[in-house]
Structure 1
Amino acid sequence: MGHWQERTELLIGQEGIENLGNKHVLIIGVGGVGGFAAEAIARAGVGRITIVDGDVVDVSNRNRQIAALVSTENMSKVKVIGDRIKDINPDVQLETKQIYLDGENIATLLDEHAYDYVVECIDTLTPKVTLLTTCIDKKIKVISSMGAGGRMDPTQTKVARLRDTYNCLLAKKVRKMVGTQRYRRKIKVVFSPEVIDKSKVEEVKGVKHKRSTIGTISYMPAVFGLTVASVALRDLLDS
């Protein structure tokens, strides 16, 4: 009977297996995009993983989120994804945090460990920007997901620097908030320039951490999440 990583080892070698096994990846947001990113990072054999998300599984998540099943409704997303990660690799050093990030706890989180990579999949603009700029200031490698919602063509998904994004409203808002070219040049993102139909977006009132809801299809958050994971894993293997 072979080892669970034998196919990965065939591709990246024993040195690559040991390299990833010694890395610590922080994944912030394990919903549509981040849940798939966490799964791919775990299956690649990253030895230490910290996942952060303050949300619970909702019935409306079931069309696109790997954590969302009838049996997991109302469970915390970090619990569901954390259990999957441990079921994939029982030897992983896993830390789960069911918290929402804000301006006060982001720096504290980033200072807790010497993370080798941060995977940022936050939906809310202010903590997203604060997290990204703080990572750059602290010289922590980071990959960020821009907007997967409203899009249907996975072949348009791209990896770029923030400054080179276009046709993405979330990326435009992030560019504006980070302000300086220094951040725009250094922040690496996954985005799609596919033009979205604005009629597929609804404003949300009275819901904490959410201002709008946008139409989504099953595969696009997965495409973004797996692309985000690929960037992090390839960078880690090159380091």
Structure 2
Amino acid sequence: MWLDRQALVIGQEGCDALRRSRVAVIGIGGVGGAAAEALCRCGIGDLLVMDHDRVDDTNRNRQLLATAETVGRRKVVVLGERLRAINPDCRVEERDCFLDADTLPELLAWRPDYVVDCIDTVTSKLALIEGCQGAGVPLVCCLGTGNRLDPTQFHLGDLYDTGGCGDPLARVMRSLCRKRGIERLEVVYSTAPVIRPPEGFADDSPQGRHSPGSVSFVPPVAGYTLASLVVRRLLGLPC
């Protein structure tokens, strides 16, 4: 059996429990794509993947689903094909949309056992957090992974314990979640030094802001850390 090596670690009962589990991964870039693939390789029975983007040429340096052949294709379609090729028995639900007030109820109606937040947009992250916590759906969020070179400094913890990590997204999320009365939030975050773009590096947005720099070996580690937490939570194991 293809999961025999995994059964040596978590037992056949653990493998069976994962096969009965439903997990949603929202945002399938460098972090979310790795998380979704890791969950699929663990034998999760039902996976929902949500994103509203196409594979861009700049994704090839770090995203598992990005190749010269997949550039221009819808990310959820490419990832769905990849996940089914890994585990044909995995029931993959592809949602080619943004997470917003209209699509959140559809996600919750899917009745996930766990939700993995890999969204870049703050407003969508907040909507997902409030929606999941209001519905009692377990959720883990990923904070910033860009502009870093050290993949060994990712940690699991609570959002309000991330002060001093140097992550602008963590700072914004702490402030906004506190204002909304969100008391606890499990997150994956990095304490690695943030690297600033070189002087004179061309801006790539009308607001004069840079897209975060990224390398092949940092975002996937965050994704694997997220997947590890979800699997251990589903099996009732310590994290």
What CA deviation, in whole Å up to 9, does each residue of 1:137-188 have, x standing for no partner?
Answer: 1111111111110111112111111111132111111111112585242x11
Q: What TM-score, normalized by structure 1, do the two folds share?
A: 0.91
Map 1:164-203 to 2 at 5 A: 164-166=161-163, 167-180=166-179, 183-185=182-184, 187-199=185-197
Map 1:146-165 onto structure 2 (within 5 A). 146-165=143-162
**Equivalenced residues, count:** 232
Per the alignment, residue 72 of structure 2 pairs with 74
Confirm or deny: 8 A CA contact 1:55 1:77 kept in the other structure.
yes
| Alignment gaps of 5+ in structure 1 | none
Q: Tell me what 1:10 maps to.
A: 8
Cα 1:184–1:165 shift into 2, 3 Å: farther
Shift in Å, 1:198: 3.2
Gaps of 5+ in 2: none
In structure 1, distance between residues paired with 2:127 and 2:210: 20
Asked if 1 retains the 8 angstrom alpha-carbon contact of 2:197 and 2:213, the reply is: no
State the alpha-carbon separation in 2 of the partners of residues 48 and 184 from structure 1. Answer: 30
1:228 matches 2:209: no
1:56 to 54, 57, 74: 54
Per-residue deviation at 1:195? 2.7
The match for 1:96 among 94, 100, 106 is 94
1:206-217 aligned at under 5 Å gives the runs 212-217=210-215
**What SS is found at the alignment partner of 1:159?**
strand
| Residue 126, structure 1, aligned to residue 114, structure 2 | no
Which of 49, 63, 66 pairs up with 1:65?
A: 63
In structure 2, C-alpha distance between the alignment counterparts of 1:58 and 1:197, rounded to whole Å: 23
What is the rounded CA distance, in whole Å, between the counterparts of 1:202 and 1:234 in structure 2?
43
Cα–Cα, structure 1 residues 233 and 182, in superposed 2: closer, same or farther, change >3 Å? farther
Cα 1:138–1:75 shift into 2, 3 Å: same
For 2:48 and 2:123, how far apart are their aligned partners in 1?
A: 21
Amino acid paired to 1:149:
G
- Using a 3 Å threshold, how does the CA distance of structure 1 residues 149 and 202 change in structure 2: closer, same or farther? farther
Query: Does the Cα contact within 8 Å between 2:46 and 2:92 map onto a contact in 1?
Result: yes
Offset at residue 109 of structure 1 (A): 2.5
Is contact 1:163–1:181 with CA below 8 Å preserved after alignment? no
Following the alignment from structure 1 to structure 2, what is the Cα–Cα distance between the partners of residues 139 and 205?
Answer: 38
- Sequence identity (%): 38
**Aligned-residue CA RMSD (Å):** 1.9
TM-score normalised to structure 2 length: 0.91
Q: 2: distance between equivalents of 1:237 and 1:97?
A: 26
Tell me, yes or no, if the aligned pair for 2:40 and 2:83 is still in contact at 8 Å. yes
Distance 1:158 1:87, change over 3 A: same
1:134 and 1:153 mapped to 2: Cα distance?
Answer: 33
Q: Which amino acid aligns with 1:25?
A: V
Separation (CA, whole Å) in 2 of partners of 1:40 and 1:238: 18
| Residues 161 and 184 in structure 1, CA contact (< 8 A), matched pair in contact too | no
Q: Distance in 2 between matches of 1:217 and 1:174?
A: 24
